[in-house]
Amino acid sequence: MPRDEPLAADVPLVHLLRTAHTRLTRASAEALARHGVDAQDLALLTALADTAPLPQSGAAHHLGLDRTTLSALPDGLEDHGLVRRRRSPEDRRRNLIDLTPAGRECLRRAQDAHRAAETRFLAALDEDTAATLIRALRRLAAATPPH
């Protein structure tokens, strides 16, 4: 099926969501790659901008990741000078993660690129429809899943 051709009306919602997700993820990844980060890096940089310094275990909880998954994430950012780790003065067993000035600048540029990718993705919709979609997705994301 050509990319611009609309999907059939009987396509399951899960397929529509997956297709849209794949297209947005690809566009976002391309935009972020120009700044040397990916979506997980952007999430960590954003969390640090909001709450830094942040204990490494707190960052994992904030991002919904297990601690072992998060342990490698700051390594690459630290190698590129975007974050720094230091021992907590209150508990020498804990590491605190903080943004460097280069990390703040990278975050600003990456957020701008990410927003631009989202804007291009939503350009197929008029402004009211795009706003309605975003509100609906926020409601669905916030809803408690059934047990």
- Chain position carrying tokens 């804007």: 119
* pLDDT tens-digit readout, 107-134: 999 999 999 999 999 999 999 999 999 9
Closest-CA residue to 141 (of 70, 66, 64, 49): 64
- Is it the case that residue 5 has pLDDT exceeding 60? no
Model confidence at 3, pLDDT cuts 50, 70, 90, reads low
| Cis-peptide into 12, omega within 30 deg | no
| Tokens encoding 79 | 């190698």
Model confidence at 4, pLDDT cuts 50, 70, 90, reads low
* pLDDT tens-digit readout, 88-98: 788 887 888 89
- The b/e string for 38-68 (b: 16+ C-beta within 10 A; e otherwise) is eebbbbbbbbbeeebbbbbebbbebbebeee
Rounded distance, CA 114 to CA 98, Å?
22
Rounded distance, CA 86 to CA 89, Å?
9
pTM above 0.85, yes or no: no
**How many of the other CB atoms lie within 10 Å of CB of 71?**
14
- 146: Cβ contacts below 8 Å, ≥ 6 apart: none
Mean pLDDT of 71-99: 85
Q: 31-140 in CATH: which number? A: 1.10.10.10
- Domain ranges in the chain are 31-140
Model confidence at 36, pLDDT cuts 50, 70, 90, reads very high
